[in-house]
Structure formats: C-alpha cells, structure tokens
Amino acid sequence: MSPQSTPDFLINRELGILEFNRRVLAQAEDPGTPLLERLRFLCIFSSNMDEFFEIRVAGLKEQIHLNPHMTGPDGLTARKAFKEVARISHTLVARQYDLFNNEVIPALGNEDIRFLRRTHWNEEQAAWIRDFFFNELMPVLTPIGLDPAHPFPNVLNKSLNFAVELSGKDAFGRNSDRAVVQAPRTLPRVIQLPDEIAGHENGFVFLSSILHTHVGELFAGMEVRGCYQFRVTRNSDLFVDDEENKNLREQLQGELPHRHYGDAVRLEVADNCSEEMMRFLLKQFELGREDLYQVRGPVNLVRMMSVPDKVDRPDLKFPPFTPGMPAQFAKHPSIFQAIAAGDILLHHPYQSFQPVIDFIREAAADPDVLAIRQTVYRTGTDSELMRHLIAAAQRGKEVTCVVELMARFDEEANINWAEQLEKAGAHVVYGVVGYKTHAKLALVVRRENGKLARYAHLGTGNYHPRTARLYTDFGLMTRHPELCQDVNDVFTQLTGLGGAHEHKHLLQAPFSLHPCMMRAIRNETERARAGEKAIIVAKMNSLLEAKIIHALYEASQAGVKVDLIVRGVCALKPGIPGLSENIRVRSVIGRFLEHHRIFYFWNGGQEDVWLASADWMDRNFFRRIETGFPLLDPKLKKRVINEGLKPYLKDNLRTWEMQPDGSYRRRARRGKGFDAQAYLRSLLGGK
C-alpha cells in the first residue's frame, strides 16, 4: 500500500488541533484533577481556542475567499474543513460551558468559593456593588448610542462588550433603540468581594453581573429592554511583505495596531441574547450563523485564569513543587568552572532554570568575558535575562542578540527589548528575511589563561523563566570546542553573509536537519529489511511534514518499531494494517506542557539521540532557523533516554493513544498506575 497514493493517510491540521484541545478539556472533566486546576484548564482551553480562531480559522476563511476549490494535503477543501471545524468547535464549547456551570462552579461553591449571581445578592452586597459601580466602573465606561451620527464602534479583538436594547427618548429627543458599552481591558472581569461583605472568605462577582444590574445608569431616562455581553474574535495574523520590507521593526510596529481590528472570524454572545440582536451583531461583523457561539456564562472565560491565584486553598491545587538543582553547581564557585568540569544537562521544569539566568548574569559581570551572543524568540515582557544582556552591553562587552520580531503574539515585547538593547550598545539583528529564527542558542566568549574559550547553552525551549516552570524542555551547557564552534558559526551566519557551514555536530534547518532525519529513518528502514532490530522513538509537539510521514509509513511497512510521542497535532495515522501497524502515537497531557523535541534511532545499537528546537513540521524544516544537537557525553545521552522517553512510553495515567481515524482514547491502565510527570518530579525535584 503506497502512502503517496492518496491523501486519506494524512489528517487535517485544524481537526488535529481540535483533537488536542479536546484532550486539554478532558483535564477539566477529570475529577482527579484538583478543583481549582480544573477551572484553570477550562481557561487554558479558552485561550487555546482563541488562538485557534485568530490564526487557523482565520486562515481557512482566507482560503475560502481566495481559492475555495484548492485541496490541502489531507484532500479537504478549505470550505469542507471549515464546516467540520465549526461543527466540532460548537460541540467542544458546549461541553466546556456544561462543565463550567454544572460541575466546576457547583463544586467550588461546596468549597465556599462562590460566584454570586445578581439574583442572589443580599442588601449589603447590593449596596457594596452599587458603590463599586459608581466609583470604579462608571467613570471609565463609554456608552455609545447607535444612530446616524454614532455608527457601530470598531470593537477590539477579544474585548468584552455589551449590546443594549433601549426604548424611549434621550435628552436630545433621540430614540435610538440600540447601544454598545465597551468594558475597558484595564478592568478586572472577576471582582473579589471583601470577606465581611461576601459572608465568607472567597466571594466573587462577575463584572458582567455588575454592569447588567446598573447599565440603566448609563442611559438616564430610557428603558433598558435587554443587555447582552458579546465578544468578537478577529484575524490576528500579521502581514509583512518581504519584498517591500526595508525595516522589519518599523513595518511590524505599523502592523501591530491592526491586529486588534482584523476581519471578524467568531462572535460569542450570552445565551439570553435576543434573536433580533444576534442577527444585528452578525450583520455588523459580516459573519454567518456558523460563526455564532451562544454561551451560558462569561463570554471571556480565559479572564478567570486569575481566580486560582487569588484563592488560598493549596488543597484544591496541584501540590507545591520546587525544581531541583544539579549537584555540579554546588561543587564550583563559578558557573564557568562547573561547565568546564563537564557538560551539564538541565531538565526543566523538574530542574531549575536559574543556572541559565546565572550563566548570562555571571557573564555580564565577569571582566574576563569579552562577548555574549544569544537568540531571542520568547522571553516575556519582564525578563531578568534581557536585563543582564543590557547590563553586559552597558559594561562594554560585545553583546549580539538575534531577536525574532515575528514571534507570534510576542512581537511587541521583542520590539521593546530590541530597542532597549540597541540603546545600551548591543548589536541587534533580526535574523534572515523569510525565515523565523527559532533556534535556542547562547554563546559566551571568555579569556582564560591568555586564550579564548567558548561556553554555550543549547535548548529545546525558550529563554523564558516563567514558561520554564511550566514547559518540559532540555538545555545543554557545554564547553565542548567543536560544538561551541558550530554554535559560533550559526551566529556568524545569522549576523553576516555567506554560505551554509559544514557543522561538526550541529544540525541546522533549513539545511541539514530534514535530510539528516530522513537518512536516520531510512537507515532504520534498511536495517529492518535486512532482518536487524530497528527502532525509532520521537517526541515533539507536532508532526505534519509529509515526506517524514511517508518515510515513517515505509519504515513501519519494513518492520521498524516506531513510537511517536506527539503532544499536539499529528497528521500521521497509526495502526493501519499494511501501512502503519508498527506505529504507535501517544499524547501526554498533564500538569506541565510537554515541549521536548527528542529524536532517537537505534542505529544498530549506537542509539543516536538528538535534541532540537524544531518539530517535524514544514515550517520548522524549511522556513525557520532551527538547530538539533547530539549528546556527546554518553551519560547525558542515557539521561535523555531515561528521562525524556522511557517514562512517557510507560505512562498509563496521562497518556492518550491515537486511533487510525485521528481520534484519541485514554490509554488503558493495566496494573499499577504510572504518571511520567509525577515520576520526574520525584526523581529530579528539589527537597
């Protein structure tokens, strides 16, 4: 059976993303998940769906408009894909609000964490809320009556708004029957009441409830016939013309404000919204009925993410966890001495990210350090690492930062850091036009005993201290001369001009990463055909690249045992007789976001292992600057196998197994339960 003969062997990307979000929603369904974490997972699901509509659904709508008959690799036209996406999305959102209203909120109430509905306020609560409205809300609210002089406002992407139905005349004799009230983003969406007012420790009220109750105060002399919250999601992809681009930063700065006002792709309204108002809103945003999502509760659940942090109930959250610290750092007064004594592997979040921060901090302060080079993809708006790089530049060190301005939703933060770095005297470059710089690299040049020595950090994840506490990633700190030379060559290539380098150890996209992975898969295939043992184990976020998938199908047909641990979307179909019966795909969803990229090949017993910044996707292989690196220390290679792969193959509590049709089922538990993340917390965590 030839995998190239039909698109039936590839799964649609958008449908695969929705399957991942279904697994995220299942964490909120699971009664074994601590209660406040169930609420958090509902918010994470909302956040994921927001981005899905802003980027993926927006892309489908553009395809429908530009080329409605073109099919994708999966054989679906954009119109057919959108129809299925809309059907599944409506089902998932309905389930989300069913969980919110019928399980999570009642369970929180049983724990005296209450969200007080306006129909249940007592006199004291109503008085406090009325004062809050007049003192905190009304001064910043701008009601907009809709009439020929006041057209429908340009509503911000994902902002909370209220559509108001009115009757009567205002002070000027106008009788407009509709108005819009926009809630400023500075306002909290959930307000915590004082304990003495709430009657218990954790009492909350929704901003929407307060505004519903007092919206009449904004329209004196008129009757409010209805008030309905709504939220519109817009296309948030940025367009940068590579051919016309003269200054990427300036072009992006001009584009960023438009992100808030892109074409509408989804309308969320309260379930009590009148039919007349729904039709009116759909018309304003030029959306169809399939784009309408009626919900029973807040239209912006993602803004409830703050609630678990406001509630001091450790018994309703994941147990506190302290990352461990590798012993090597305690043995040496300097981080450079620790690295010089031998390569160090960091496994986040089980081990602390602090050594990476200390690496740059010490380099910035060390008079023997001459130069620091680092890639910047996502670091956050408040980054200690970036402050140390700025300090290094101010001290006169040669600081070079390759800042990726097109890191989606982090563009503004990266522009701000780029400006601060330049003001401090650092060299700031934006990589290569047409290619995102996604590699995670840092290099320090230090004078030691009259000679120059290089130290490098290579990672699978971002230089972002907050996500390093939530995402699973590996980072390698090394002084290995050849590996550090490879890293130096990548920086030279990114900042200057010239041909592709022949690296000793490093793989680099868009040059050597894809060919190397293809060779490694084909090597296992040939060994299997020769009757030898052949194994491939790969862990990543997404698997979409067609040539890799076809090579894996051929490997399976030859008898290679293939285990794929893919957290998110996977276009490959496992378990099809004659095609992929030797391939298993599993997804692990737990407390931490699985983010490693690990590629293992048996290779006749040599056990080749690569860590990488790249998933097996077209964009990572061909449209990004990515790196893959080997573990040259046999002990560290064994650690990656024992920590990054084997526990996930053994996990039977947090694992979902992919079926041939693209759906997922929880892995059947046989014998004693095993949770990979819990095992690694116990193995590597601090005391």
As annotated, the active-site residues are 438
490, 518, 520: which is closest to 613 by C-alpha?
Answer: 490
> Computed from CA positions of residues 383, 351, 585, 632, in that sequence, does the dihedral angle turn out positive or negative?
positive
160, 143, 142, 139: which is closest to 209 by C-alpha?
Answer: 160
Q: H helices within 366-471, ranges in order?
A: 384-394, 411-424
Q: H helices within 260-353, ranges in order?
A: 275-285, 307-310, 335-340
Cβ atoms of 219 and 169 closer than 8 Å: no
d(CA 588, CA 598): 14
d(CA 58, CA 236): 8
3-state secondary structure of 315: helix
Residue 542 structure tokens = 């997404």
Cβ atoms of 522 and 601 closer than 8 Å: no
d(CA 89, CA 222): 39
Cβ atoms of 678 and 647 closer than 8 Å: no
Cβ atoms of 361 and 390 closer than 8 Å: no
CB atoms within 10 A of CB 645: 20
d(CA 213, CA 43): 25
d(CA 536, CA 42): 35
337, 318, 330: which is closest to 32 by C-alpha?
Answer: 318
338, 351, 341, 347: which is closest to 611 by C-alpha?
Answer: 347
d(CA 474, CA 642): 13
